Structure 1
Amino acid sequence: MILKKIMVIGVSAGAGKSTFARKLSEVLQIDVYHLDTMFWEPGWIEASFEDFKSRQQKVIINHPQWIMEGNYRNTFDMRVEKADTIIYLEKPLTVCLYRVIKRWLTNIGKDRPDRAIGCNEKIDMAFIKFICTTYSQRKKRTRQQLHQLESTKQVFILTNDKEIEDFLRTIAN
């Protein structure tokens, strides 16, 4: 199993992408790049599409190994073209919602390493509604997309904590 250029994506916020990517980084000794830190400027200001795309291209071009964590469909194809592995985390909607709320409560007023500096943890009803109303559609679309990529990429779909732990344990050996 060759794991050098890895995309970590998930069904939703709260699926565990950032945590998993950090653990994967520790096991493989490959730097992880969080797309949220490339997309958001301090104070929750969106980067221009060109800046966002350019930041990803610099990693893809300048690093022989990388883990990129995050969904961002508008640059998915650019990353998948160069990736050898896609790891998709698909936790149930209730788990994702619970984790989003827990993360907010745990990190109120704090920066996180997977976000740009000055983007303190926040939550609002629009975000919760987005998660709830797009979950099923994203799950279906992502599964279809990954099925099409299975012939050219290593694709791993992990749906529970045991599968995640087993995967990390397997690649560590």
Structure 2
Amino acid sequence: MRRVAIMGCGGSGKTTFGRRLAARLGIQIVHLDAVYYDDRWNTMEPDEFAAVQEELVTTDRWVIDGNYASTLPIRLRRADTVIFLDLPALTCLWGIAQRCWRHRGGQHDDTGVHDRVTWSFVKYVWGYRREMAPRVRALIAEHAWHADVHIVKSRRAANRLLAGLDASPTTT
């Protein structure tokens, strides 16, 4: 694992999983939410956001977490490992509630990511597996056919994947 793209629904645990994985691999993590949004929730221009990602993926080692389906092919084409956290909506909503409680609705400790829970976001999370996950799977099939793909369906499976890395001699 040298270039890892992590994606999944809001609340699926991308940031936590990515942080833990990056620490195990000794790689700096990039949280796309922290790149795309500023501290007032202003967004980056689409062309600029794509250009930043094009630059990020030119390095030899990276872990990038975030969805952003419009720019997902940029990351997938260069990734050697893809981790899709495809968790149930209730699990993701619970994850969002826990995150809001833990960070009191403010900035996450060291990610630059802020909580912004709106009704439209809750609806997006609720419908993610039905509406967005098929699109993500199709993008993975089209652009990451060369990569080692992990589709993770539970927090327990995510923990097993990380534990398997700890046991692997290739991660030392």
Q: Deviations over 1:58-111 (max 9, x none)?
A: 2212x2100010010111111111111101111111011111122123222521
Alignment of 1:164 with 2:158, yes or no, is yes
Match of 2:93 in 1: 97
Question: Structure 1 CA distance, aligned partners of 2:159 and 2:105?
Answer: 31
Aligned to 2:71: 75
1:66 and 2:62 aligned:
yes
Q: Which runs of 5+ in 1 are unaligned?
A: none
Partner of 1:42: 39
Q: 1:46 to 1:150 in 2, by over 3 A?
A: closer
Task: Verify the 8 A CA contact 2:22 2:29 in the aligned structure 1.
Answer: yes
> Is it true that 1:9 corresponds to 2:3 in the alignment?
no
From 41, 52, 56, the counterpart of 1:55: 52
Q: Deviations over 1:136-160 (max 9, x none)?
A: 1222333344345564211011112
Aligned partners of 2:6 and 2:63 also within 8 Å: yes
Of 140, 150, 171, 1:146 maps to 140
Matched, 1:26 2:23: yes
- Note the C-alpha offset of 1:32: 0.7
Tell me how many residue pairs correspond in the alignment: 166
How far apart, CA to CA, are the structure 1 residues paired with 2:107 and 2:144?
36
- Choose 45-54 or 141-150, whichever is displaced more: 141-150
Structure 2 unaligned regions, length at least 5: none
Stretch of structure 1 that moved more, 82-91 or 142-151: 142-151
- State whether structure 2 residue 132 is matched by structure 1 residue 114: no
**Cα gap change, 1:53 to 1:143, in 2 (>3 Å):** closer
Q: For residue 162 of structure 1, report the CA deviation from its aligned partner.
A: 2.7
Q: Which residue of 1 aligns with 2:124?
A: 130
TM-score (norm 1): 0.86
- One-letter amino acid of the counterpart of residue 122, structure 1: R
Cα distance in structure 1, aligned partners of 2:74 and 2:43:
19
**What RMSD in Å do the two structures reach over aligned CA positions?**
1.8
Identity %: 23
Change (3 A) 1:69 1:146: same
Match of 1:58, SS state, is helix
**Matched residue of 1:64: which SS?**
coil
